[in-house]
Amino acid sequence: MKNIIITGSSSGFGLKAAKDFADQGNKVFATMRKPDGTNAGKKAELEAHSPHIEVVDMDVASDASVKKAMDSIIAEARNIDILINNAGIMYLGITEAFSVEQARVQMETNYYGAIRTMQAVLPSMRKAGTGLIINTSSLVGRMSPPFFGTYTATKHALEGYSQALRYEVAPFGVDVVMVEPGPFGTGLLASGQSPAHAEVLGSYGDLAGVPLAMGEHFAQLLSSEDAPDPQWVVDAYMKLAELPAGQRPTRTVVGITWGVDEINKLTQPIQDRVLKEMQLEAVLGGVSA
């Protein structure tokens, strides 16, 4: 039995992962915002699914909320085997028209939120000499399509942080990996906001309507019979959990790839070469892939 923390467990990949890991007999701490309020139904669904699931109130965008929740989880479990950072929000629209505050809101959840939870579990993982952190990134953490700019920035930040952290904690027996889903019908688009700067939208003319049309197209695609199955992402989580420590790939692309699998294959060897060029191979153990 493993002790597993999953953020963003009220919907999408997080909800499915909590159920599947619990079905294997693992103890799952399924975190979400407002489990006794707007997400009370999701809390009841998870608790009814398995006695191995414990729903925990946590807002990854809040220092105080993360500290309170993670302290209580670690006090109960003592050791955490796996952390899956799944919580996320995404805005789609004209990049220039989103305010700094809107960009900040996404960073607080998608990037700083992951840092908060990782820093909470890493001391005990390093002490135990084992642990796995799975950060749910995105295809747009490795490339930048139009109209996703503020969201893309959060995933590029998460990728950069995770890559560096992977090198640094590997000598302690801790693996940090990234899962990079393509588009899936998880409701992520519904978490977005319209751009705050309406005057900017007006100056873009017909182009201002393209993101809305794109969103509608994605919604139709992802609700069709041919849509990628969100279960594929959960299966990737579970496969990574089963692989031996030190043998887990840095990045796992799932679903529609948009060429990101090719980008990873090309750039990872270059990325790993930095250890040799900085004379850090002996210090960090040459972790790669």
Model confidence over 82-138: pLDDT tens digits?
999 999 999 999 999 999 999 999 999 999 999 999 999 999 999 999 999 999 999
pLDDT number for residue 233: 96
pLDDT number for residue 10: 94
Report, as an integer, the average pLDDT of 158-186: 93
**Closest C-alpha to 274, from 180, 175, 179, 167:** 167
Question: Tokens in use for 172?
Answer: 């302690």
pLDDT number for residue 277: 87
pLDDT band at 289 (very low <50, low <70, confident <90, very high): low
Mean pLDDT (the chain) is 92
pLDDT band at 190 (very low <50, low <70, confident <90, very high): low
List residues bridging with 5 in a β-sheet.
29, 83
pLDDT band at 172 (very low <50, low <70, confident <90, very high): very high
pLDDT number for residue 183: 82
Does the pLDDT at position 205 exceed 60?
A: yes
Instruction: List, by residue number, the catalytic residues.
Output: 10, 137, 151, 155
Query: Is 192 within 8 Å of 147 (Cβ atoms)?
Result: no
Report, as an integer, the average pLDDT of 157-163: 97
pLDDT number for residue 249: 95
Report, as an integer, the average pLDDT of 265-282: 88
**Closest C-alpha to 123, from 74, 90, 84:** 74
Spell 38-58 as b/e; 16+ CB within 10 A means b: ebeebbebbeebbebbbbbbb
pLDDT digits (tens, 9 = 90+) for 43-88: 999 999 999 999 999 999 999 999 999 999 999 999 999 999 999 9
Query: Is 67 within 8 Å of 44 (Cβ atoms)?
Result: no
pTM confidence score:
0.93
pLDDT digits (tens, 9 = 90+) for 210-228: 888 887 777 777 777 777 8
Break the chain into its structural domains and give their ranges. 3-284
pLDDT number for residue 38: 94
pLDDT band at 189 (very low <50, low <70, confident <90, very high): low
Does the pLDDT at position 204 exceed 60?
A: yes
Please indicate whether residue 191 or residue 202 has the higher confidence score (pLDDT).
Answer: 202
| pLDDT more than 70, % of the chain | 95
Helix, strand, coil % (nearest 5) of the chain? 55, 15, 35
Question: Tokens in use for 164?
Answer: 């560096």
| Domain 3-284 part of CATH 3.40.50.450 | no
Does the pLDDT at position 278 exceed 90?
A: no
Angle between helix 113-128 and 149-169 (nearest 10): 10
What is d(CA 30, CA 178) in angstroms, rounded to the nearest whole number? 19
Does the pLDDT at position 177 exceed 80?
A: yes
What is d(CA 159, CA 155) in angstroms, rounded to the nearest whole number? 6
Does the pLDDT at position 181 exceed 80?
A: yes
pLDDT number for residue 288: 62
pLDDT digits (tens, 9 = 90+) for 7-33: 999 999 999 999 999 999 999 999 999
